[in-house]
Amino acid sequence: MPRFPDGFLWGVSTSAHQIEGAAELRGPSVWDVFTAAPGRVRDGSTAAVACDHYHRYREDVALLAGLGVDAYRFSVSWPRADSPGGLGFYDRLVDEVCAAGVRPVPTLLHWGLSAGLDWRQRDTASRSAEYVSRVADRLGDRVGKGSTPNEPAEHTLLDHVLGVHAPGERLPFDALPVPHHQLLARGLAVRALRASGASDIGIANSHGPACPASGAAADRGATELCDVLLNRMFADPVLSGRYPEGIEELMRGTPVR
């Protein structure tokens, strides 16, 4: 009978904006701005309180420990990390997770960009490296595994092409600087995390198969484009240091540097 390999981690995961609450104790994120716009959320809900994890984290950690999991993947909110006392919350959370015998696995750059920052701007990658360095300096002595960024393909498509997630932009191919700068931020983050002693640094890509509807040339071409835009554009640079063949033509004419 097939078995999971030794060392396989069974875990649970959350997102800071979805569970933390205590919005008054951090700066605004692009999601706060997005959801505040009339009509964005059907019932007008916000993340001001959410699951109140900020105040109930001890109870929440006890619940996940009771599940018998090996790891807890949580995200660090950039706006909270930039706020007074914000890193102290993650300090306490990591201590609680470790005391419960669970491995903390933080995700950095989990969609919740600080309001006023824009992934179309290259400077956002540089500023993200400063943020990651501060988090690594604070938590690195207890954290050896983490990932960054979170699902950059979805963040590009849903947030900057279709406009259904924050910041709600509809840019089509003008959104190509967004994944480029996210991947640049990933490289800078890896440097910062390794400098802190972290040795196991992943990226939360989410890939899917691309299959043509028929053998027609148009269907095959559409499939190749889909595979490049949703899969290889995010995997190839991390694994080989280069974009997949053909992406340069798509980027021509866009402000990607």
Which CATH number do you get for residue 182? 3.20.20.80
Query: How crowded is residue 130: how many other Cβ atoms within 10 Å of its Cβ?
Result: 11
Residue after which a domain boundary falls, among 164, 184, 206: 206
In sequence order, the 6+-apart residues with CB closer than 8 A to the CB of 153 are 179, 205, 206, 229, 230, 231, 233, 234
**For the chain, percent of residues with pLDDT exceeding 90:** 82
Predicted local confidence at residue 173, as pLDDT = 85
Residue 221 lies in a domain: yes
Any domain includes 97: yes
118-136: average pLDDT: 95
Q: Is residue 61 assigned to a domain?
A: yes
Which residue segment(s) compose the domain that 225 sits in? 209-257
Q: Is the pLDDT of residue 207 over 70?
A: yes
Q: What percent of the chain has pLDDT over 70?
A: 96
Looking at the fold, whether 148 and 249 belong to one and the same domain comes out as no
Q: What pLDDT was estimated at residue 248?
A: 66
242 and 119 part of one domain: no
- Kindly state whether residues 141 and 186 are assigned to the same domain: yes
Residue 254, pLDDT > 60, answer no
Domain membership flag for residue 18? yes
pLDDT attached to residue 249: 67
CA–CA separation, 195 and 198 (whole Å): 7
Q: According to the model, what pLDDT value does residue 247 have?
A: 77
- Residue 105: CB atoms within 10 A of its CB come to 21
Same domain, residue pair 185 and 73: yes
pLDDT of residue 256: 47
pTM to 2 decimal places:
0.91
